[in-house]
């Protein structure tokens, strides 16, 4: 092989390596980018102490003015009608100045069987995460970002790593006689839906947070349930290490059906 040919092959290899490096994103880089889109979700009341009551995690999607979270994170004062609420919903956004900024939020869409909700919040828009359009494979490396145990550890973004250990089907049980609504009965008749089982530890406070594919940086799921051994308190003292998430495609479907932020109903 001539020296000139060897030189050309070396240049091509270097360019290929450079292109691969440009496409790849390390986990620290992914966390630094993604946590700007992960928000605190809770309630706000003038007579509450503290006024902001943390309830769970959410993340910004779409046009930068919508948040996806769990339905059970929404304040219990919020009735089934999404245009009325007695205690306002609030989120706190992590600003470029590295501080929390409270924003008023409105519930615009909810899927209770899948434990999903979409909120809209006032301008300005914030950086959004991208929902995966594909199917995540079992064994894929993932990262969870959220606020485990809430204010007990301070409102700092916390990341946990794991893998997608299985894709399985479930039918959510009714929470009691009051949970046997027409919609719940219809869901039971229609059958189960798929969830992602994660080999990752999530805690109270992680609910509603994003499950990120480490390779692509896209959201592949929304943290929902945690397998608890014994009592709810054991989730802290003896975590099972098994968590469940709703696939991103279900969150994307709910988001696509939600009204635009400017058209979303405002609380009375």
Same domain for 66 and 104, yes or no, is yes
Q: Can you give the pTM of this predicted structure?
A: 0.78
Going from the C-alpha of 251 to that of each of 28, 65, 68, 110, 188, the distances in angstroms are 25, 15, 7, 10, 20
Residue 19, pLDDT above cutoff 50: no
Mean pLDDT score across all residues of the chain: 80
Same domain for 151 and 223, yes or no, is yes
Same domain for 96 and 165, yes or no, is no
Ramachandran class of 108: left when φ > 0, alpha when ψ lies in -120 to 50, beta otherwise: alpha
> What local confidence, expressed as pLDDT, does residue 202 receive?
87
Same domain for 51 and 121, yes or no, is yes
Please report, to the nearest 10 degrees, the dihedral formed by the alpha carbons of residues 223, 30, 127, 43 taken in order: 30
Percentage helix, strand, coil, to 5, in the chain? 25, 35, 40
Of 205 and 123, the structure prediction assigns the larger pLDDT to 205
Of 265 and 128, the structure prediction assigns the larger pLDDT to 128
Report the Cα 118 to chain-centroid distance in Å.
11
CB distance 130 to 33 below 8 Å: no
Of 96 and 146, the structure prediction assigns the larger pLDDT to 146
Same domain for 152 and 94, yes or no, is no
> What local confidence, expressed as pLDDT, does residue 22 receive?
43
Q: How far apart are CA 243 and CA 262, in angstroms?
A: 35
- pLDDT (average), residues 133-143: 95
Q: How far apart are CA 59 and CA 209, in angstroms?
A: 6
Note whether residue 81 is domain-resident.
Answer: yes
What is the number of domains present in the chain? 2
Residue 266, pLDDT above cutoff 50: no
Domain range spanning residue 170?
141-254
Name the least confident of 57-71, 73-87, 98-112, 236-250.
73-87
Same domain for 121 and 217, yes or no, is no
CB distance 147 to 206 below 8 Å: yes
Note whether residue 264 is domain-resident.
Answer: no
Residue 83, pLDDT above cutoff 50: no
> What local confidence, expressed as pLDDT, does residue 122 receive?
87
Note whether residue 210 is domain-resident.
Answer: yes
What CATH number corresponds to the domain at position 163? 2.40.10.10
Q: Which of 19-23, 51-55, 219-223 has the highest mean pLDDT?
A: 219-223
Same domain for 84 and 154, yes or no, is no
Both structure tokens of 163: 């893998």
């Amino acid at each position: 092989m001539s020296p000139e040919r060897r030189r050309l092959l070396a240049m091509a290899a270097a360019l290929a390596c450079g292109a691969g490096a440009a496409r790849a994103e390390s986990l620290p880089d992914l966390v630094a980018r993604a946590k700007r889109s992960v928000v605190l979700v809770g309630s706000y009341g003038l007579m509450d102490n503290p006024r902001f009551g943390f309830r769970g995690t959410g993340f910004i999607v779409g046009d930068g003015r919508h948040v996806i979270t769990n339905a059970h994170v929404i304040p219990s004062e919020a009735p089934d009608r999404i245009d009325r609420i007695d205690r306002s919903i609030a989120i706190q956004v992590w600003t470029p100045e590295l501080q929390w900024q409270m924003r008023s939020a409105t519930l615009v869409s909810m899927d209770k069987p899948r434990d999903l909700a979409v909120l809209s919040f006032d301008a300005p828009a914030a950086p959004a995460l991208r929902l995966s359009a594909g199917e995540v494979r079992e064994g894929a490396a993932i990262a969870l970002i959220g606020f485990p145990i809430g204010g007990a550890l301070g409102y700092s973004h916390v990341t946990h790593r794991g893998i997608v250990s299985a894709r399985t089907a479930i039918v959510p049980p009714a929470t009691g006689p009051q949970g046997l609504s027409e919609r719940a009965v219809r869901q039971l008749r229609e059958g189960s839906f798929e969830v992602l089982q994660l080999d990752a530890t999530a805690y109270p406070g992680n609910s509603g947070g994003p499950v990120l594919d480490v390779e692509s940086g896209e959201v592949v799921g929304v943290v929902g349930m945690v397998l608890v051994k014994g009592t709810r308190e054991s989730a802290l003292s003896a975590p099972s290490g098994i968590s469940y998430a709703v696939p991103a495609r279900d969150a994307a479907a709910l988001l696509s059906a939600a009204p635009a932020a400017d058209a979303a109903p405002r609380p009375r």
